[in-house]
Amino acid sequence: MMGRFGRLELIDPLADCAVFGDADLSFAVKLAKHRTALGHVGRVIATTFETLECLRERYSEIDDTIKTLEEHFAEVFHGVDCTRIAVNENFKGLEGKFGCVYYNFPHAGAVKGFFDGHPCVNWRHENLMRLFFRALRSFMKPGGLVKVSSSKQAVGIRYYYICDGALQSEFQHTETVPFQEWHLSKYNRSYGDKRDAYRRPEKGEGYNVQRAEFDMLYTFKYEPSGNAPGPVKIRMPPKFGVLAACTDGPFKSLVGEGKKALATQLYKRFVTEISGEHVG
């Protein structure tokens, strides 16, 4: 059966591009091969949030994947928090170099017992998008593109969070297209967590709650005004008293000291996250 893509991927051939949140680097490989085939001289900066040691535990093919990327002159960085690239040594010298940035199906990470839309944890997803776009400002070329994919039914990274985060940092929305129509959509998606060690796309395992027809690709163009934008609006985590009073999620069956201990644990974690530190 033959088909065609409704949206080709034509980007600045001279500019570098970056990929964030690519768990097994399979999208970065597809992008690097695409750029090589088109004769681009701009590099692909491929990143993972996890360390290389963690990736080797989850993806037996990761070393071969990295080798393939390097054969296409890509650079690979591990342990990258996309909201803090301005203080990441690997990104020094890349200011103003990115003509395109990709972030497929972003997620702030699960908090055990809570669904993504729960008010005690949903703020983390909203902040991720706001801080992501703000962090990119120093590294984007004027007119550069940022492409973020997400399900339009997502309750974690909602389309509003993506669009609002972009607008706060002078990235103007240019188009939204169905993800499946995109030329680069056919790559090995993964969970991006420990499940990938035993449940992989090539084994026919899909996402339990995601339907491909709802996946969308949002594109934004960096159009700086020349004036510094106001401070990014950060959603604060729930206070300890709110967590201690929670009666659902992981707190549903807890009482007394057990409930207090979990509330304390989560509160400390959330305070650490809002401070911008990595949390394993």
Q: Alpha carbon 212 to chain centroid distance?
A: 18
Q: How many domains is the chain built from?
A: 2
Predicted confidence at residue 278, as pLDDT, reads: 38
Name the residue with tokens 């395109």.
100
| Residue-wise pLDDT tens digits, 105-153 | 999 999 999 999 999 999 999 999 999 999 999 999 999 999 999 999 9
Task: Write out the two tokens for 109.
Answer: 């990470």
Residues 49-57, mean pLDDT to the nearest whole number: 95
Q: Quick check: helix, strand or coil at residue 215? A: strand
Is there a domain that residue 115 lies in?
Answer: yes
Domain that includes residue 44, residue range: 16-231
Residues 6+ apart with CB under 8 A from 221: 143, 144, 145, 146, 171, 172, 174
The CATH number covering residue 42 comes to 3.40.50.150
Looking at the predicted structure, is the pLDDT value of residue 190 above 50? yes
Same domain, 171 and 222: yes
Q: What is the mean pLDDT of residues 231-250?
A: 94
Tell me the CB-side half-sphere exposure of residue 183, using CA atoms within 13 A. Answer: 10
Residue 144 shares a structural domain with residue 259:
no
Could you tell me if residue 101 is inside a domain? Answer: yes
**Which is more confident, 181 or 279?**
181
Which tens digit of pLDDT belongs to each residue from 242-277? 999 999 999 999 999 999 999 999 999 999 988 864
Q: What does the pLDDT look like over 14-39, one tens digit per residue?
A: 999 999 999 999 999 999 999 999 99
Residue 279 counted as domain residue: yes
Residues in the chain, overall count: 280
Domain edge (last residue) among 197, 213, 231: 231
β-strands 215-222, 140-151 pairing: antiparallel
Amino acid at site 178? P
* Contact of 142 with 178, CB cutoff 8 Å: no
Indicate whether 11 belongs to any domain: no
